[in-house]
Amino acid sequence: MIYSIGCHVFSGTESKTTPKHFHQRNSVKYRYFAVTFFNRAMAYLEASTMEPTVATLRALLLFAINSLFDPKSGNIGQQVALASRLALSLEANLEARLDSQGLGPDDAIMIRNMHSTIFCLENEIASALDRPATFPEPDTALRFDREEPAEYLCSLYRLQHRFRKGDRTVTQLLPSFDQPAKLNPGLRMVIHQTHLLVNPCWGSAWHVLEAVVAWDSIHIFLTPHWVYRAGCMLIQNMPDIYGVDLIQLYSNALVVLELSSRKWPSSAALSASLTEVMQHLKRKFRPDWSGKLQCGDVKM
């Protein structure tokens, strides 16, 4: 299963400088490998999930993570729910298990880490698709240290979770945009998505649409939903944005949605909807650049 996930993540390209070059040249080949490795892993699914153990929880999480890239391979909602129940059960009996079942300190640390992983998975889905999230937050302090990316990532999802529950004080805790691009691409994507959720304005949308085409950024099946949300936010603020900047970012959105549709067909509907939003608001605002701007194959 780890090999399958690795094939989904691996880009197989040299760094490119324009959104049009963002297409992962070898993505079809590696998707084939991903399916092959996934099918091999499925042969061991029943044996690896028979007992309520740490190993079973790890297997469930690997299947759920794989579903972020290939949602048709399994029901990620059910996978996360199963992992949640098992994690809470393991945590409730952790002290007894440490004594009676030979679990060591490393196992306890692994369970805590997997708790954070479940929380991240559930809240990634909840924020993108506006769904409820019930798995409890980790009981550690928020930590935004780029040398500890896992804790940084979980802390961002904790802020998203609190904001969706109505806590507006998270705006004071949220780190600033990663403008110097010091964070790894995965963290950069999530921090900008968190800004877009907490403060939905064209500035936060701008950062999302820049991060989404950054070299080494990793897309999951929920990424197109964030791209669509950011694209709509930019278009709705059309009068406040220079036309040359708007078409560049709008082009980023359409390119990502087009490429995403090859893996996740529902992205095509988001692309068509974004195009309709652009046409509608162009008629409403009547910008002076209408019909004069072009970026690659995208015209406005």
What's the whole-number mean pLDDT along residues 125-140?
A: 96
Q: Would you say residue 200 has pLDDT above 80?
A: yes
Q: Where are the beta strands (DSSP E) in 135-190?
A: none
The whole model's pTM is what?
Answer: 0.91
Segments making up each domain of the chain, as ranges: 200-300
Please give the pLDDT value at position 176.
93
Q: Count how many Cα atoms sit within 13 Å of the Cα of residue 230 in the half-sphere of its side chain.
A: 32
Q: Would you say residue 211 has pLDDT above 90?
A: yes
Nearest to 192 by CA among 203, 204, 182: 204
pLDDT digits (tens, 9 = 90+) for 1-58: 999 999 998 765 544 445 445 444 457 788 899 999 999 999 998 999 999 999 999 9
Answer whether 115's CB lies under 8 Å from 85's CB: no
Please give the pLDDT value at position 225.
98
Distance, in Å, from the CA atom of 191 to the CA atom of 152, rounded to the nearest integer, reads 9
Please give the pLDDT value at position 20.
46
Percent of the chain residues past pLDDT 70, beyond the cut: 92
State the chain's mean pLDDT as an integer. Answer: 90
pLDDT digits (tens, 9 = 90+) for 157-174: 999 999 999 999 999 999
User: DSSP string of 69-129?
Assistant: H-GGGS-HHHHHHHHHHHHHHHHHTHHHHHHHS---HHHHHHHHHHHHHHHHHHHHHHHHH
What's the whole-number mean pLDDT along residues 260-280?
A: 95
Name the pLDDT band for 180 (thresholds 50, 70, 90): confident
